Amino acid sequence: MGQNFLVEPDVVRSIVDVSGIGTGDRVVEIGPGLGILTRELLNRDAHVYAIELDRDLISFLEKDLANIDNLTLVERDARHVELQPIVGDSDYHVVANLPYSTGTAIMRRFLELDHPPRTMTVMVQREVAERMIATTPNLSLLAIATQIYATAEISFIVPPDVFLPPPKVESAVVHLTLRDVPLASPVEVDTLFRLATMAFQRKRKTITNGLSQGLDLPKSTVEFMLDEAEIASSLRPQAVSLERWIALAKVPLP
């Protein structure tokens, strides 16, 4: 299975406390594993839709949590699952101990859905959590990808010894509240990520040099674009605020 299973009940209760989940809430749990978080969500009288890719774990959960009306087990890959047939048009929340290897991809998928969750409470590697909430002068691509769609905060740090087997790094629980409307339109998001990816691939260079190389444009043209977005041409990409990145995405490309 190659997973790190959460085994400490106090941490599980704290995760669900942070999520604010209560009676009647619809919860999508990603990667339920052996079901320790699933049980706590069920204890709070939520309806849990548990998405698990591993057939052996699905079989275990089918036996261990049999005959529970408010539990739906879904054998799918959370990176590709269609949620509409599962939760319909109702409001829902995500609570998950995300796999280190695919957690970022899963989060981005759910944030970018046409019908996203109202909140997400996820446990991820601490370094990933810190990049999610980062601001200038340490902005990251993941921070941009997260904060366009949600506000995010680290709720608490989780030590390795609450997992079996223990990972080599600390984890963190992050609570995200999805925005009613994203900070940028889909077209602007596409442009923003194209530009930001080019710049962050060259983050030791100024944003002017990085975009000039990435777009194959003269520096003078890039400087004009940056001026239109009120971005100092001497800044490095991680020192440009999310607001200014969005402004840059609105500037017509040559």
Whether residue 218 sits in one domain with residue 162: no
Distance of CA 173 to the CA centre of its chain: 11
Whether residue 105 sits in one domain with residue 65: yes
Whether residue 227 sits in one domain with residue 200: yes
- pLDDT for 1: 42
Whether residue 83 sits in one domain with residue 36: yes
Among 215, 137, 138, smallest CA distance to 225 is for 215
Whether residue 39 sits in one domain with residue 127: yes
Whether residue 36 sits in one domain with residue 152: yes
Give the 3-state secondary structure of residue 78: coil
Whether residue 198 sits in one domain with residue 147: no
pLDDT digit string, tens, across residues 164-180: 999 999 999 999 999 99
Whether residue 170 sits in one domain with residue 78: yes
Which tokens sit at 73? 């087990």
* pLDDT beneath 70, residues of the chain: 1-2
Whether residue 116 sits in one domain with residue 218: no
- pLDDT for 2: 52
- Residue 224: Cβ within 10 Å count: 14
Domain that holds residue 245: 186-249
Is the Cβ–Cβ distance between 142 and 104 less than 8 Å?
Answer: yes
- pLDDT for 3: 79
| Residue reference for tokens 């990145």 | 245
- From residue 116, give the alpha-carbon distance in Å to each of 64, 218, 242, 251: 30, 40, 21, 28
Is there a domain that residue 167 lies in?
yes
